[in-house]
């Protein structure tokens, strides 16, 4: 079964935009982060949009750590791709 496709290349425009928001409104940036990453993944998805959203919601903490520089995109990519795949199978 195919699952959502995330680009291995770091979404630097998304990162910059959300870091700008986080500088003045961290709660808003934190709420937007899984939604925005889900939209990126859903753009190339074979998994359902709901599966992608659930996976991103469940991975929100790790995505936040990427946003603040504590995780690399590669780490998030690997973890989130696996999570999306597992959600797609359920």
Number of folded domains that form the chain? 1
| Domain membership flag for residue 46 | yes
Query: Does residue 75 register a pLDDT over 50?
Result: yes
Torsion over CA: 82, 31, 43, 88 (sign): positive
User: Which domain range does residue 53 map to?
Assistant: 12-89
| Domain membership flag for residue 3 | no
- Sorting pLDDT into bands at 50, 70 and 90, what band is 1? very low
Q: What is the pLDDT of residues 4-59, one digit of tens each?
A: 467 788 999 999 999 999 999 999 999 999 999 988 876 655 677 788 888 899 99
Residue pair 75/66 in contact (Cβ under 8 Å)? The answer is yes
| Domain membership flag for residue 2 | no
């Amino acid at each position: 079964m195919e699952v959502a496709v995330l680009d291995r290349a770091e979404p630097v425009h998304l990162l910059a935009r959300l870091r700008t928001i986080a500088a003045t409104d961290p709660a808003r940036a934190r709420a937007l982060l899984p939604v925005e990453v889900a939209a990126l993944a859903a753009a190339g998805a074979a998994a359902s949009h709901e599966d992608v959203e659930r996976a991103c919601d469940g991975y929100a903490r790790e995505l936040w750590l990427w946003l603040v520089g504590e995780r690399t995109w590669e780490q998030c990519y690997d973890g989130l791709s696996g999570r999306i795949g597992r959600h797609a199978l359920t």
